[in-house]
Structure 1
Amino acid sequence: MPDTFTPDTPEQVRDAIAWAVSEESPLEIVARATKRTIGRPMQTANTLDLSGLSGIGLYEAEELICQAGPGTPLAEIEAALTAQNQRLAFEPMDLGVLLGGGEGRQSIAGVFACNLAGPRRIKDGAARDHLLGFTAVTGRGEIVKSGGRVVKNVTGYDLSKLVCGSWGTLAALTDLTFKVLPMPETETTLLLHGLDELTAVTAMSAAMGSAHDVSSAAHLPDGIAAGGVSGVATALRVEGFAPSVVARVAALTDELARFGAEITALEGEVSRALWRDLRDARPLAEPRERAVWKLSVAPMAGPRVVAAIRPLVAECAYFYDWAGGLVWLAVPPRGDAQADVVRGAVDAVGGHATLIRAAPEVRASVDSFHPQPAPLAALSTRVKKSFDPKGVLNPGRMTAGV
């Protein structure tokens, strides 16, 4: 009978992993398990549940830093930041609705371990760019620490960049320190109506390259609705102090007039609702049986990828984020979730495709994470072995047999 270990100190985490190493008994690493269904299903003997290491240990609003245990709910952290008019600038995604687990349940460790950022990523960077330091237990059963409380504290190898996006396969996080930023006074979203996809990507690139500090850019094709917006619409978000936002929106509207689209605006909470839906891929949450892909390519290549997929995959649905560089794609739940077609289209332009939602039998037979070129795969294997030589941490989740 599999056991669940629920430590409440870093030392207990170390002891649990050391035992797993001595027994060569693999562990599934979870904090609040909201993303458990992403990646290959794992055949682990036991579970290491980090939810007991919870709570905000340090929050210095004037220094723009926060430290918390891995099991701390993101909602708790965001509530504390909001009270000080601050935020996590990279806009962490909440995949609870898409994955069927309910919203507002994810942990801060899951946010950084999976490195999933929202629409503001193209301006403020990914989750890994905001992690200042961490303490963790490796697959050797050793406690390690990297970074600290200031940006310039990194010396030697920047391990924060390495553990972000490792999905719990390198180490079990026991403490995280990250930077926070002030919340903007207001925001406005411009909607350009009726643009075809190639023109929309051109308009988004023009907006992002302008002097008006656009923080997010997305495009909704026909049939996709989000935050009360329906119909073909290209969305551009401008944030900051109210007078600045007014001036920048007016100038941006003038610059975009050359695209010939009707332009309307969303203000305040209406704008925020749109970007929350796009952040969490809610337009593709239903019907639940569809498989959902996250495609990352160069922004101008987004429409080319979709154009290669649509003739071969009937009834697919999609929308663009990150100015066209992120394509959320839902496909019918048949066969291999159209993995050959999707990855072939992405490989033709360069990029990667991640299977975010699919039935367990599909995830068992299809690589959820984009296969790496042989030299990079060999390097990843060496990194895995250096952190986890016995392969006891989330074995096989990202790559079969690793």
Structure 2
Amino acid sequence: MTPTTEQELSEIIAGSNGPLRIRGSGTRAIGRTDGADLSLASMTGITLYEPGAMTIVAKAGTPVAEIEETLAKENQRLAFEPMDHRTVLGTQGEPTIGGVVAANVSGPRRIAVGACRDFALGVRFVDGSGTVIKNGGRVMKNVTGYDLVKLLAGSYGTLGVLTEVSLKVLPEVETSATLTLRGLDDKTAIRALSSVLGSPFEVTGAAHLAGTTMIRIEGFEASVAYRAGKLRDLLRSFGEATVEDADWTAIRDVRGLADQPGDIWRISTTPSAAADLVAQIDPKAVQYDWGGGLIWALTPEGTDLRTKLGAFDGHATLIRGKAAQTFHPEPAPLAAISQGLRAKFDPRGILNPGLMT
């Protein structure tokens, strides 16, 4: 089923007699759920763009590439740098903005500017009964009431099917530079990243993989040059940092792990615990992002990673693989809240059933 209007979508959901599998163009096929395919790929188009207000509104099926191309003409960007999962998952099609918001997809720049949900101003969606709901607007406001915008971001279509999203955008940066250290072990690299992230020099990328530690700074050329010098001084105890070209798109999309066989896990934790967790896993390959707060681990197929890790401060999501539950089990109090929310928004349990449980 591929509705072209919000009304069509509402009628499909209201008249559904069974579960629905919600998707955009299928590029972020994470997790398993049964049901008839319901695609938002035909609900496309930018409905409002106000460069002066740094706001863009688009239908959920609008390709991310179209939005980025439109923003680039006005020297603006999606600041949260959404990951493209196609390389990791081997999927086809064009990533959609609805999928980005539904999965709260954020890239390396999250450490500096925040996640996708922090830039979501408003949403329109259809709940599990077929009711069309609008929440939020086109500007940042501090108001009382339910913030459904933040709730829908990261709900993976289990609370409602997004039809339109409103996002805050930011100006494009003038230039960037990447400081690189080589040969550091994981623990030392994370200490180096923590030292720069705790500095006043506005780091927008902090990653470590295959013995290479990378620190990105962005902004006006003079500012970048000044901060690069200060950060090199700060890093001298870890080695001589050099300014080198770096492919942050490859880091964003985890390309270093994507072309190797095995399961891929996304682990969110505290940077201070990251290296010890990786030692417990003993993965085939690993990439640290967000200064060590985000771990991408490649493991042999069927690895029971959560059993290996035991209880820890964070959560592990199976991005590629089939042997385990996709999302980390929630603590009982949080699980009860999640179940209550789903019962309110989708009382029949037809929207991506079982995906997040």
TM-score range for the pair, normalised by the shorter chain length: over 0.9
Q: How many aligned residue pairs are there? A: 357
1:277 is matched with 250
> Which of 241, 260, 269 in structure 2 is aligned with 1:297?
269
- Note the C-alpha offset of 1:30: 1.2
Q: Residue 82 of structure 1 aligns with which residue?
A: 72
Gapped regions of structure 1 (runs ≥ 5): 222-231
Instruction: Report the Cα offset of residue 262 of structure 1.
Output: 2.8
1:31 to partner: Cα distance? 1.3
Change (3 A) 1:88 1:347: farther
1:4-58 CA-partner distances (Å, limit 9, x unpaired): x2211111111111001xx3x111111111112x112x221x2221111101111
Q: Residue in 1 aligned with 2:7?
A: 11
CA contact (8 A) 2:26 2:91 kept: no
Q: CA deviation at 1:346?
A: 4.5
CA contact (8 A) 1:320 1:327 kept: yes
Match for residue 57 of structure 1 among 47, 57, 63: 47
Contact 1:122–1:215 (CA under 8 A) maintained in structure 2? yes
Matches within 5 A, 1:312-331: 316-331=284-299
AA matched with 1:13: L
- Match of 2:180, SS state, is strand
What TM-score do the two structures reach when normalised by structure 2?
0.97
- Is 1:233 paired with 2:202? no
Name the structure 1 match of 2:107. Answer: 118
Shift of 1:345: 5.2
> Where does 1:370-381 land on structure 2 (aligned, <5 Å)?
370-381=328-339
AA aligned opposite 2:286:
Y
Give the residue type in structure 2 aligned to 1:282. R
1:265 paired to 2:243 = yes
> Residue 389 in 1 paired to residue 347 in 2?
yes
Q: Which residue of 2 aligns with 1:39?
A: 31
Q: Distance in 2 between matches of 1:51 and 1:264?
A: 44
The structural deviation recorded for 1:319 is 1.3
What is the deviation of 1:202?
0.7
- Once the two structures are TM-superposed, the CA of residue 370 in structure 1 deviates from its matched residue by 0.2
Corresponding residue of 1:332: 300
- CA shift, 1:167, in A, is 0.6
CA–CA separation in structure 1 for the residues paired with 2:22 and 2:333: 28
1:154 deviation in Å? 4.7
Is 2:195 the counterpart of 1:250? no
Letter in 2 for 1:276: T
SS at match of 2:235: helix
1:355 corresponds in structure 2 to: 318
Kept in 1: contact 2:280–2:309 (CA 8 A): no
The one-letter code sitting in structure 2 at the alignment partner of 1:97 is T
The percentage of counterpart residues that share the same residue type is 48
For residue 293 of structure 2, what is the amino acid of its counterpart? Answer: G
CA distance in structure 1 between the aligned counterparts of 2:34 and 2:55, rounded to whole angstroms? 38
Could you say what the CA RMSD is over the residues aligned between the two structures, in angstroms? Answer: 1.3
Distance 1:155 1:96 in 2: 38
In structure 1, distance between residues paired with 2:113 and 2:204: 8
Distance 1:95 1:7 in 2: 24
User: For residues 56-86 of structure 1, what are the alpha-carbon distances to aligned partners after superposition, in whole Å with 9 as ceiling and x for unaligned?
Assistant: 1111011000000000000000001111111
Secondary structure at the residue paired with 1:151?
A: coil
Partners of 1:52 and 1:198 lie apart in 2 by 47
CA contact (8 A) 1:147 1:153 kept: no
Query: Shift of the alpha carbon at 1:309?
Result: 1.4
Provide the rounded CA distance (Å) in 2 between the counterparts of 1:219 and 1:14.
45
Any residues of structure 2 matched to 1:167-178 within 5 Å, and which? 167-178=156-167
Of residues 87, 111, 121 in structure 2, which corresponds to 1:132? Answer: 121
Please state if 1:369 is matched with 2:327.
Answer: yes
Q: Using the TM superposition, give the Cα deviation of residue 331 of structure 1 relative to its aligned residue in structure 2, in angstroms.
A: 0.8
Residue by residue, what CA displacement relative to the aligned partner does 1:171-199 show, whole Å, maximum 9, x if unpaired? 01111100000011000000011112111
On the 8 A contact 2:202/2:217 being kept in 1, the answer is yes
Q: 1:244 to 1:157 in 2, by over 3 A?
A: same
Paired with 1:114 and 1:154, the residues of 2 have a C-alpha distance of 24
Is residue 293–residue 356 contact of structure 1 (8 Å, CA) maintained in 2? yes
Taking the aligned partners of 1:118 and 1:275, their CA distance within structure 2 comes to 9
Q: Does the 8 Å CA contact 1:133/1:145 hold for their aligned counterparts?
A: yes
Q: Which amino acid aligns with 1:11?
A: Q
Q: Which amino acid aligns with 2:10?
A: R
Match of 2:23 in 1: 30
Which runs of no fewer than 5 residues in structure 2 stay unpaired? none
Residue pair 2:232, 2:240 contacting (<8 A) in 1 also? no
Give distance in 2, aligned partners of 1:149 and 1:52: 23
TM-score (normalizing by structure 1): 0.86
CA shift, 1:155, in A, is: 3.7
Deviation at 1:168, TM superposition (A): 0.7
Indicate whether 1:306 and 2:278 are aligned.
yes
Cα distance in 2, alignment partners of residues 76 and 398 from structure 1? 29
